[in-house]
Structure 1
Amino acid sequence: MTLIGLDVLVLGGGVAGLATARALALRGARVRLLEQAGEIAEVGAGLQVSPNAGRVLKALGLGPDFAEVSDESRGVRMREAARGREVAFVPYAGRGRFANVHRADLIAVLERGAREAGVEITLGCRAAEVQPGGHVITEAGAVLDAGLVVGADGLHSVARAALLGPQAPEFTHQVAWRALVEAEATLPPEAQLFLAPGRHLVAYPLRGGRLVNIVACEEQAEWAEEGWQVPGDVEAFRAAFAGFGGPVPGWLARVKTVRRWGLFRHGVAARWHRERLVIVGDAAHPTLPYLAQGAAMGLEDAWVLAASLAEADGLEAGLAAFQAAREARCRRIVDAATANARNYHLPRGPKRWAAHLALGLASRFAPGVLPGRFDWLWGEDVTAG
C-alpha cells in the first residue's frame, strides 16, 4: 500500500517513537507525534548500540549524525568483581560497528531527523485512552483521529492496554542502578562487566571518554515502584557494591546522583495490532537490560513496520506482516537477555567456577567463540530487504 497521505499518530517520543515517526514520514505518511513530557529530553544515561541497530540508523539517513555523537567500542571485558581480575574478553572486531552513546545525544539525533522529515511533534500531551478505529483521547479531553495509531509509549503503554486489557507485571526480584560520573583518566574503548554472586556492574565511556556510564544490578526481595526515573540514595548505592574492586571504588566515590528502577517482566505481547492500532518497542516486547537490545529492538521495529506497510496490500495486512516478521526474533532476544541475568549472578560454588573457567579458556584459545554466540543477533540487517 502507499503510505503517501496516511495520517499516523505516534504515541511516545523515545527511541522507538521518534524512529518510527521518521521511517513512516520518509515514505510519505503525515505523522504527528505526542510526547507527554514538556520537552524531548533524557536524564543522564548511556546506551550500547550494536550493529543491527546501527544499520537501521544508517538506512534512516542518520548514520553520519549518529557517528558524530557516539564512540566505537571494541568489546566487553568481563571481570571477577571482588578483585577486578579479568575473566574473559569478548572482542567485537569484524562484526560491525558497536558504539556507546549518551541516550540524550541519540534522542537529539532522532528528534532532528523526525522534524526534518516533516513530523509534527506535540509536547506536554499525554494519551489517556486509545480506542479501536484510530481514536486517541488525551488527558485534556481532546479526541484525536488517525488512519493509524502507533503505540510507542513504553512499559506503561495505554496502547498495549487497549489491545490486551490491563496486565499486572511480574517483579523479577532484581533492581538496577544508573549513574554517570566524570572520568578521572582515559578509559579503554570497551565495556567492563564486573560479576559477583547476586549482582553485577557494567561501565563504559561516553562522549569521548569524558564520562563513565554505570549500570549496576542486584537481586532484591521487594520493590514498590516501576520505572527508571526513581531517585536513588547514593550511600545505599555505594554500600550495595562496596565489595567490588578494580576501578569501581573510585567510580562510586564520584557518584553524585543515582537513579534506580525495579526490573519487571511483562512478557512479549500476544497481539501487536488491531483496528488501526499497532504497538512497537517496549510496549510490545519489554526486555531486561542484560543484552543491550531495548533501543535496538525499537529501531528495528521502526524500519520493519514502515517497510511492511509499504509492501502490503492494505493496512491490516501490513500490520500482520509486521508482527509476523518481528515476533519470533523479539522473543528470542528477550529470552537471551533473561538467560544473561541468570548467568551474570551465579552463586559461589563449582558452577560459577566452571563457568568462569570456560569463559577464560574460550577467550584465550578461541576468541571468536564468545562473540559468535550472538552473531544471529548482531549480524541481522532488517533493512536489507
Structure 2
Amino acid sequence: MTRTPEIAILGGGIGGLAAAAFLRRTGLPSTIYEQASELREIGAGLVMAPNVARLLRRLGVLEELAHHVVRLEIGWEFRRWQDGTVLSAENLAEACERLYGEHTYTARRSDLLAALRKSVPDDSVRLGKRCVAVIENGDRPALRFDDGEVAEADIVIGADGIHSVVRRVIADSIEATYSGLCAFRTLVPAEHAPEIARRNAHTLWLGPGHHLVHYPISAGKLINLVAIAPAGDYSVESWTARASIEEFLAEFDGWDPRLLDLIRAAETPGRWALLDRTPLRHWSRGPVTLLGDAAHPMFPFFGQGAAQAVEDAAVLAQCLAAQPDDPVNALQNYESLRIPRTTRLQEVSHGRSRINHLPDGPEQQARDKAFSDSDPLVDSAWIYEYDADTVPPFHIDTVAR
C-alpha cells in the first residue's frame, strides 16, 4: 500500500475516540461510525490510574479535564462492612507520583468522552450509523449499515463494546456464562452524601457476598457509587437497565449506617448483570481487529476497563504507524503486545470477586490481616508503571497467519 490507509472505527465511546485521537497523533486519519445520534457515555464515574492518566496527559485530554476531575488523596481504602473499620489505605497524594510519575484521578465518563471528542476532527465522526454486518472482502473489508450504506476501508477497528458486531468476524461465538453477580451503579449529589463519601478518597467496603465502592467525581460535586451483589435470577447485561433504591438498600441491610444514608440519597440506580467471558486468543483477522470491551470485557474490580481501552488505542496507533503498508502484520503485532496484559487483568479481576466477598470467619480475618500487611499500590506496579507509549510497536518475528 503506497497511500495512507483508510481506517474505519466502529464505536464512538471512550475506546473509539481514543483510537482516533492516537491515530491522528501519528498522522493517520480515521473515520468513526457511531450508532447513536449523539456521542454519549452511559454510566457514571471511572478511576484514571497513572497508566491511563499519563497517556491522556500527552493527548492534552487531562488538561482539558482539569476543572472536572478529582485528584485522589487516598486510595485502596478498604473498610469493614459493619462499622467502617479501616483495613488498609494508601496515601496517593504522596506515593503515586513518586512511584509512577503521575497522579490518580477520578472523572465522570461523559466528561472524559467530551474531552476526547475535542481531540478528533468533527468531520471524522459519523453519527446515526448502526452497523449490522462486517463484510470480509479481501484486503478491503466493508461495513454494512442499517440504512443500506456500505463503507469500505483498509482497516476496521471494532471498538463497539461488549455486544460487538465486529467480534463475530474475529472469533467463534463465545457464550457468556452466568457469574451470579450484578452491579448497582448510581450517582449521589455531594451535598446529600455523608462526610465519609465526600473526601478525595477511593473507598471499598467489603462484606459477605457483597462489596461497595464510592469516590467523588465532577470536581467533587457528585459521588460515584458502584456496588456488587448476588444477581439471583437477574441476567440483564445493559447499562440502561434500572433498579429501585429499595432493591439496592435491601442488598446492604445491616451494613454501616453511613452507607445506607449514601444509598438513600442516590439517584435511581442502574443494574448490570456481570456475565463472564473467556479471554480471546486472537483479536484480529486480516485487516479487522478489536479494541476495549469488544476484545477483553472484564469485571470492574480493578477499575481498569476504560484504561485498557485507552492503552489498546495507543499501542494500536503505534503499530499501524510503524507498518502503514502492511496493516495485517501491524494488527498481529498489536494483539501480540496487548493480549498477555489484558488477559492477566481479566483473570485477576475475575479472581477478586471471591476475595472481596468472603463470609466472616477465619479466611476473611486472614484476608483482612493481609491487607494491613501489604501495599496495594506497590503490589499493582505491573498495572500502573506500564507505559503504552514505550511499548515496541514492531516484532520482526511476527508471522502472518
TM-score category, normalised to shorter length: over 0.9
1:231-250 equivalences under 5 Å are 231-250=242-261
Equivalent in 266, 269, 273 of residue 258 of structure 1 = 269
1:8-67 Cα offsets, whole Å, 9 max, x none, are: 111111111000011112323331111111111134500001110112112323231133
Q: Please tell me whether residue 201 in structure 1 is matched to residue 208 in structure 2.
A: no
Q: Is the 8 A contact 2:46 2:107 kept in 1?
A: yes
SS of the residue corresponding to residue 120 of structure 2 reads: helix
Q: Please tell me whether residue 175 in structure 1 is matched to residue 182 in structure 2.
A: yes
More strand by share: 1
SS of the residue corresponding to residue 167 of structure 1 reads: coil
From the superposition, tell whether residues 208 and 68 of structure 1 become closer, same or farther in structure 2 (CA, over 3 Å): closer
Q: Report the alpha carbon displacement of residue 5 of structure 1 after superposing the two structures with TM.
A: 2.8
SS of the residue corresponding to residue 126 of structure 2 reads: strand
Answer with 373-382 or 165-174: which moved more.
Answer: 165-174
* Counterpart Cα distance in 2 of 1:196 and 1:264: 21
Answer with 130-139 or 150-159: which moved more.
Answer: 130-139
* Counterpart Cα distance in 2 of 1:12 and 1:285: 15
* Counterpart Cα distance in 2 of 1:245 and 1:360: 20
Equivalent in 369, 380, 389 of residue 383 of structure 1 = 389
Q: Report the alpha carbon displacement of residue 246 of structure 1 after superposing the two structures with TM.
A: 5.0
Q: State the one-letter code of the partner of 2:165.
A: V
Equivalent in 314, 324, 330 of residue 342 of structure 2 = 330
SS of the residue corresponding to residue 113 of structure 1 reads: coil
SS of the residue corresponding to residue 41 of structure 1 reads: coil
1:116-143 Cα offsets, whole Å, 9 max, x none, are: xx65111111111112242111112211
From the superposition, tell whether residues 182 and 324 of structure 1 become closer, same or farther in structure 2 (CA, over 3 Å): same
Equivalent in 341, 344, 351 of residue 339 of structure 1 = 351
CA RMSD for the aligned pairs? 1.7
SS of the residue corresponding to residue 242 of structure 2 reads: strand
* Counterpart Cα distance in 2 of 1:44 and 1:136: 27
Q: Please tell me whether residue 86 in structure 1 is matched to residue 98 in structure 2.
A: no
Q: Structure 2 stretches of 5 or more lacking a match?
A: 392-401
Q: Please tell me whether residue 131 in structure 1 is matched to residue 138 in structure 2.
A: no
SS of the residue corresponding to residue 366 of structure 2 reads: helix
Structure 1 length normalisation: TM-score? 0.93
Q: How many pairs does the alignment contain?
A: 376
Aligned to 2:29: 30
Aligned to 1:111: 117
Q: State the one-letter code of the partner of 2:363.
A: K
* Counterpart Cα distance in 2 of 1:346 and 1:299: 32
Aligned to 2:124: 120
1:58-77 equivalences under 5 Å are 58-74=57-73, 75-77=75-77
Q: Is the 8 A contact 2:28 2:321 kept in 1?
A: no
SS of the residue corresponding to residue 303 of structure 2 reads: coil
Q: State the one-letter code of the partner of 2:25.
A: L
Aligned to 1:355: 367
* Counterpart Cα distance in 1 of 2:309 and 2:318: 14
* Counterpart Cα distance in 2 of 1:44 and 1:100: 14
Q: Structure 1 stretches of 5 or more lacking a match?
A: 363-368
SS of the residue corresponding to residue 297 of structure 1 reads: helix
SS of the residue corresponding to residue 156 of structure 2 reads: strand
* Counterpart Cα distance in 2 of 1:151 and 1:268: 16
* Counterpart Cα distance in 2 of 1:119 and 1:60: 19
From the superposition, tell whether residues 320 and 119 of structure 1 become closer, same or farther in structure 2 (CA, over 3 Å): farther
% identical equivalent positions: 32
* Counterpart Cα distance in 1 of 2:290 and 2:123: 19
